[in-house]
């Protein structure tokens, strides 16, 4: 009897333990819902995936991808030019200092026109030193005007580089055909085509060199005026300035007219005086004929015959 009670108690304990384990597994399954395909989702993956998706979306929004084949904003190719106007007491001294500044920046001066009170000069310097050179030139006198322009030639350079690569490949193909040509007519035809394509290749290379040179070197157009010229230009503004300008224009016109008359005097003396003398002699020769005709007309007529 006691053995039976022991077996019944053991069976009850086993059944109780089995019910507890079933309840625990059911709770865990309810806490973690299964998807439609029956697979259990991996624990603690939801927040991480969401964070990675949000960070990827933000990254894509902050920085847009650069199209293939085009340089980024830091690799743009710009052609920069500048124009500066200065006033100074001595124009010649400023031009001398401009040459010194240009040589110090590893540049050179181009076209130059220097007068007593005005001067213009073209300065070419490396593009990376343009701003520094402009600051130095502005200190040589009183800076009246300063303009800087930039032209983007990135797309042009990319296009030229692409066409160069295509043209080089084309030339190589023609050279391969020339190596395989056997007859004279084939050789002549292939050589003519090769010459044409090599000429186009050289043209593209020169264009690329010009663009690269324009990007590497910047041009500055510098104009210098004497301070007295600026004062005169300011004094000629307004009513009295217009009156002065009009009087100067009248004197200029009168001087031009007198110059023309003076140039005509030698011709008048050489051709005009003999012509006037000839006209006077011809008129004098015709005068006696008129009184003779008048005398003949004034004679009395004969009486009529009976």
3-state secondary structure 47-98: HHHHHHHHHHHHHHHHCCCCCCCCCCHHHCCEEEEEEEEEEECCHHHHHHHH
Q: Is the pLDDT of residue 134 over 50?
A: yes
* Digit-coded pLDDT (tens) for 148-193: 999 999 999 999 999 999 999 999 999 999 899 888 998 999 999 9
What are the residues facing 150 on neighbouring strands?
80
- Condensed to tens digits (0 to 9), the pLDDT of residues 258-276 reads 888 888 888 877 777 788 8
More confident residue, 138 or 293: 138
Quick one: pLDDT at residue 114?
87
Strands 142-152 and 118-126: unpaired
| pLDDT exceeds cutoff 50 at 241 | yes
Q: Is the pLDDT of residue 50 over 90?
A: no
Mean pLDDT of the chain: 75
Higher-confidence residue: 250 or 139?
139
Evaluate whether 84 touches 220 at the Cβ level (below 8 Å). yes
Task: Please name which of 83, 122, 87 lies closest in space to residue 225, comparing C-alpha atoms.
Answer: 87
Q: How confident is the model at residue 42 (pLDDT cuts 50, 70, 90)?
A: very low
pLDDT-above-90 percentage for the chain? 40
Q: Is the pLDDT of residue 287 over 70?
A: no
Give dist(CA 145, CA 142) in Å, integer: 9
Q: List the one residue out of 97, 94, 93, 98 whose CA is nearest residue 109.
A: 98
Instruction: Note the pLDDT of residue 117.
Output: 86
């Amino acid at each position: 009897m006691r053995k039976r009670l022991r077996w019944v108690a053991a069976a009850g304990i086993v059944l109780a333990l089995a019910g507890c384990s079933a309840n625990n597994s059911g709770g865990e399954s309810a806490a973690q819902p299964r998807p439609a395909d029956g697979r259990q989702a991996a624990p603690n993956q939801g927040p991480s995936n969401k964070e990675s998706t949000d960070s990827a979306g933000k990254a894509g929004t902050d920085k847009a991808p650069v199209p293939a084949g085009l340089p980024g904003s830091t690799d743009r190719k710009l052609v920069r030019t500048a124009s500066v106007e200065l006033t100074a007491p001595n124009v010649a001294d400023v031009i001398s200092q401009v040459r010194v500044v240009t040589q110090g920046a590893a540049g050179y001066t181009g076209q130059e026109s220097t007068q007593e009170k005005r001067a213009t000069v073209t300065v070419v310097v490396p593009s990376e030193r343009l701003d520094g050179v402009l600051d130095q030139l502005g200190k040589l006198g009183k800076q009246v005007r300063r303009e800087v322009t930039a032209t983007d030639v990135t797309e042009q350079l990319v296009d030229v580089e692409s066409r160069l690569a295509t043209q080089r490949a084309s030339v190589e193909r023609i050279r391969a055909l020339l190596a395989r040509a056997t007859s004279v007519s084939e050789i002549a035809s292939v050589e003519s085509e090769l010459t044409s394509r090599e000429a186009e290749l050289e043209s593209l290379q020169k264009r690329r060199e010009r663009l690269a040179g324009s990007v590497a070197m910047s041009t500055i157009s510098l104009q210098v005026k004497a301070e007295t010229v600026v004062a005169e230009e300011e004094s000629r503004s307004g009513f009295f300035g217009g009156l002065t300008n009009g009087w100067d224009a009248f004197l200029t016109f009168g001087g031009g007219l007198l110059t023309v008359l003076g140039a005509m005097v030698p011709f008048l003396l050489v051709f005009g005086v003999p012509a006037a003398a000839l006209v006077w002699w011809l008129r004098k020769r015709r005068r006696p004929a008129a009184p003779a005709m008048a005398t003949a007309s004034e004679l009395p007529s004969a009486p009529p015959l009976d």
